[in-house]
Amino acid sequence: MSLLNIFFGIITLLTLILIILGQTLPSHNMNLNKISPYECGFDPINSTRLPFSFRFFLVAILFLLFDLEIALLLPLPISFNLSNTNNSLWVFSTFIIILTYGLFFEWIKGGLDWAND
């Protein structure tokens, strides 16, 4: 228990040191002229920010979700050898059904259509 108290004390001390340093160090104020885009001394003609496709963002999130789900499916074949096969098969089947339902839901809602922008 005392080891836990020592770790908690060290974490609290480091946090307080970082807070004090953050308050005492001089802040770096940006000058508006220094952070503005430079185009040969003229004012910028267009916005420096490019438009971002929200459809691309949704597809990227879907890709990450399905990629994570595939990573969760990788250890399941090993679990067939280690534990009761019926329980592992039940978990595997339920997970695949949920994934398939999510895929069809996105397909029906049009989340996978690129041409509808």
pLDDT, tens only, 43-54? 656 666 667 777
Q: What pTM, to 2 d.p., does this model score?
A: 0.44
Residue 115, pLDDT score: 64
Segments of the chain with pLDDT less than 70: 1, 33-50, 80, 83-86, 114-117
Cβ atoms 54, 116 nearer than 8 A = no
Distance CA 87, CA 81 (A): 12
pLDDT score at 109? 83
| Residue-level pLDDT at 73 | 80
SS3 83: coil
Domains annotated for the chain, with CATH where assigned, are 2-109 (1.20.58)
Q: Which tokens sit at 110?
A: 């049009």
Fill in the amino acid letter for 38: Y
